[in-house]
Structure formats: C-alpha cells, structure tokens
Amino acid sequence: MRTITVHPEAAAALAPLAFGEFTATVWEDGGYLAGWQYTVPGCACLVTLWPENMFNEPDAPAEFTPAGPWSYVGRFDVATAEGCRNPGNWTNAANRDGHKTPHHALSEGLDEHRAACAEFRQAITRCLACGDAKQEHGNPDSFLGCDDFRPGKEPGRRDWEIRREARGLWVPRD
C-alpha cells in the first residue's frame, strides 16, 4: 500500500492556512485521490477541499503537490444528519469551483455551511441575557443559567455585541 504525503514545500506554504487535515485515498492500481478535510467546530460537518489535480495516476509521485484552482464539497455530520432536510451533501454545485486558493474555497464553503446547517446556527446563537450559547445554557434554577433563553435575532449576535461594547462602541438594542 502506498503512503502519500504532501510535498515539503507545499506543506510549508499551506501550513499557516490551517484549513484541514490532508487525506489521500489510495486506489488498488496505486493511483490516489488527494484533498483536505476541515471539521466545522460546533456541529462536526465536513468541508472537503480539492485542488485541481486531486486525481493522480499510479505513476504519480508519492509526494503530492497541490495545484489550483480549488473547489469544496460540504457534507452534514453523519451523527446528526437525520435532523437535516437533506442528510447528505449541503453543497451548491453551482458555486463550489474555481477558487484561486484553498482559503477562498474554505471561506465560501463555511459561508454556505452557515446558511445550511441548523445545528451550527443553534450552537453559535447566544443568549442576550447571559451570553451563553444555547447548547451551553444552564438550568434556570442553577447558578450557571439565567431565567430564560433570549436569543439574538441572528447567530452570534451576542458575541458581536460584546466585542463592540469592549471597544467602547454603541450597540443597538431592541
């Protein structure tokens, strides 16, 4: 069985981006499919990034050097997919290809994921009263929680308010 690694120069260039874990699927004939998988915190959905040269023949070097443009594919977390409208890929095929860098592909993939994954939106929605995420919200009888969960109108609203207040900026209130 072949072992596929990222070429050292390519690995050094991609390392600061921290956009996922390199994966290579080796086929029986010795060819391989190479890409990166990014697990989204808060829900464990996957964004897989593919370089243009993701398919490699059996005689391709074992040190893989990615070449753009880049694309992405999104998949709901298998453990929670039954709660989703479509328990499979959430990717819109019309806008996933042709990105100049892996960072551009991941950024668009995460934007699309944010709109598609209800579990992720719930995980990042904060209570306006205590600031805890909905999943972290304590029992009202406990010293860890407040009387009721009052979510902001949009995911992450409370985080945004806290950052603005810390900078001394005005925060609009309903």
Question: For residues 123 and 114, what is the distance between their CA atoms, to the nearest angstrom?
Answer: 11
Quick one: tokens of 47? Answer: 């964004």
Task: For residue range 55-77, list pLDDT tens digits in order.
Answer: 999 999 999 999 989 999 888 77
Tell which wins on pLDDT, 130 or 152: 130
User: For the chain, how many residues are written?
Assistant: 174
d(CA 121, CA 107): 17
Classify 2 as helix, strand or coil: coil
pLDDT for 132 equals: 67
How many distinct helices (H) and strands (E) make up the chain? 4, 7
Query: Which token pair is 164?
Result: 């603005």
56 — phi, psi (to 5°)? -130, 135
pLDDT per residue as tens digits for the range 3-19: 899 998 888 888 766 77
Mean pLDDT of 151-160: 57
